[in-house]
Every structure is written in C-alpha cells, then in structure tokens.
Amino acid sequence: MLAGCLVIVLAVVAVLLVALRDPDTAPAAQGSAAPAVSAPTAEVTGSVPTPPTPGSMAVAPGGRIAYVANREPRVLTVVDLLTGTTRRTVPVPEAPPRFIAFSADGARAYVSAYTEDDAVNVVQVIDTATGGVVAVVPVDRRPYALAVAPDQRSVWIPSHDDATIDVLDTTSLTISRRIDVAPNPHWIAFGGGRAYVANHESDLVTVLNTTTGATLATVPVGRSPHALAVSPDGSRVAVANYDGSTVSFIDTATSQVAVTVPVGRGPQYASFAGDGRHVYTANVQDGTVSVIDTTTSTVTGTVPVCSSPTSVVVVPPENRTARVTCLDESRLAVLQIAR
C-alpha cells in the first residue's frame, strides 16, 4: 500500500515539474497520431507579423511555440503558433541572432550569433521557461546552423570562416573540442549515428562519426550547399544547393548522391514533411517554396510566398502546416501542406 502511494506521489511531482517549465516547449506526448499525409503542392493561408529581418525559425518540442531570429533588432521573437501572437521577445545584444536549436526537453534554446565584421561570435544559451540568458559562449567565426546531438550532451556548431565544428558541452557550457571540416561549413544535422555537414564553398557534405568526430565520407553535391535535412526514416539527406538551384538527395546507406532535382532560385533551406513524402525548399532569390515529391524526384509545386523567404519549417506533431520566414517583409507566411 505504501509503495503504491509513493508511486502516485512521484508521478504527481513529475507532472508538477513539467508544468513549472513552459508546457508549450515540452516534447509531444508518446503515442501521438501519425503525421498527416502531405499534399503534392502547398497553399499560403495566412501571415504572422514579426519584428524586422526574420532570418530563421525553429519550432520548440511540442509544436506550439516557435522562436524566430530577428537579425537587426537583435531579438528572438517567441511566437504562439496556435494563436499567431507574440508571447515575448528575448534580447540577443551581443550580435544579430542567426540560427536556433532546442534541447529535446525544450528547456533550453541555443542561438548562434555573429556580427558581419567577425568581431563577435557567440552562442547564447536561453532558459525557455523564463527567457533568461544562461550563458554566452564565445565560438569560432560566423557560427551558422547549429544542432543538438542526439544524446543531448553536446551542441555542434559549424563555424563558417574557420572550417571547424565547435562542440559545446551542455553541462559545462564550454567548448570541449573542435573538429576540422572542409571550408565554410553552413549547416549540420544528425541521423543514424552520423553528423552531416554542408560545406558551402567546397561543394561537399562531410559525414562525421558522432562519437569520435572522425570523417567517414565526403560527398560531392551541387554548387554551394547551404542547408540540409535528414528524412524521417533516416534513409536520405536533402541538400539545398544555393548557387546551383538544386537539391541533392544523399543515400545514407552508400553516402552517395542518388538524384539531384532542380528547384527555384537560391534555395536556402530544406525541410521534410512529417511523412517523408515531400521536401520543401525556401528559394530566397525568386520568392517561392518548391515542393519535391521524394518518390518521383520531381517538383510538384512552386508556391509564391513572399520577398526573400529564408527558411521553411514544418510544424510538428500534426505536420499539416509550415512557416516561412520572410526576411524583407517582417512576417511569417503560413503554408498549408496537408489536409
């Protein structure tokens, strides 16, 4: 009897601890419904205002809250995706914020920030419950699209101007090691025990062992790989080639490009639908989002969205909509991708 009561008390305490943290940045419940079936095209259905220069966006675990990196005001805008309202802004005073990554429990956000003259290069660590700054960590020059490792013990930060990956220890909040890669790494994503790095000026993707940091493969792709995304089943990596206006699909079993698909001009971001059937690219030079059918490797939709779309992010857990950051228009475009 006593043991049963103790179990109940511990369960209540666990629930209360989660509630004390912002529940909207908590992970989605286990056993949730399968992602919606994505459509062969998409439709703009709304718009959400933000401060100027929304450059990139990340959705917190749980799918309710997004953080938008507004470069010139040097703030993060915390947006409620259900209501389309701004909850608060979080200052990033050291430098314009560039990219955002969340811990798996949603308790922390990691933000890369740098100035154009390379004088300031940092990662700002934010407590998502309070909006308070936990730490500001100096890193190598021009930190780009960082990612939290699957074991949550580190954050990997590609530094464009130093051809390195800075590995940030999430306990000590210090740089524990640096990994050399090909010049101008822009983006990093994890899948299948590997880290994939898009090296912009080298026309290569570097494949790294996540335990040792050793290079497992270098994969030639299109011109100026800017961003990449790993498919939900881990079988493919989509690489947005900025100057080539293409997407290369890497077969993760062979570490070779299986197919290359032409898209709109200047693809700067790639996202998979939750069901893996489509990929979306934000094409900054022609103001569109391309929709790629991953079965046929063809573009099935080209959607005009706004001036200078810089990121397109699918919103979990339902995966029925995406948000597009409109750099020159101070807003997010709402994109319906499934019914």
Which tens digit of pLDDT belongs to each residue from 142-172? Answer: 999 999 999 999 999 999 999 999 999 999 9
For residue 339, name the pLDDT band (cuts at 50, 70, 90). Answer: confident
What is the residue whose two structure tokens read 């706004």? Answer: 306
- Give φ, ψ of 227 to 5 degrees: -140, 160
Determine the Cα–Cα distance for residues 102 and 148; give it in Å rounded to an integer: 7
- In the chain, what is the greatest distance between 2 CA atoms, to the nearest angstrom? 68
Number of CB atoms found within 10 A of residue 299's CB:
19
The answer to whether 261 and 247 have CB atoms below 8 angstroms apart is yes
What domains, with CATH codes, occur in the chain? 36-338 (2.130.10.10)
Can you read off the two tokens belonging to residue 207? 């494949």
Averaged pLDDT, 235-253: 98
Determine the Cα–Cα distance for residues 54 and 56; give it in Å rounded to an integer: 6
Averaged pLDDT, 262-273: 98
- Give φ, ψ of 168 to 5 degrees: -95, 120
What are the tens digits of pLDDT across the range 210-224? 999 999 999 999 999
DSSP letter string over 52-115?
S-EEEEEEPTTSSEEEEEETTTTEEEEEETTTTEEEEEEE-TTS-EEEEEE-TTSSEEEEEEE-
The per-residue pLDDT for 26 is 74
The per-residue pLDDT for 6 is 42
Determine the Cα–Cα distance for residues 133 and 136; give it in Å rounded to an integer: 8
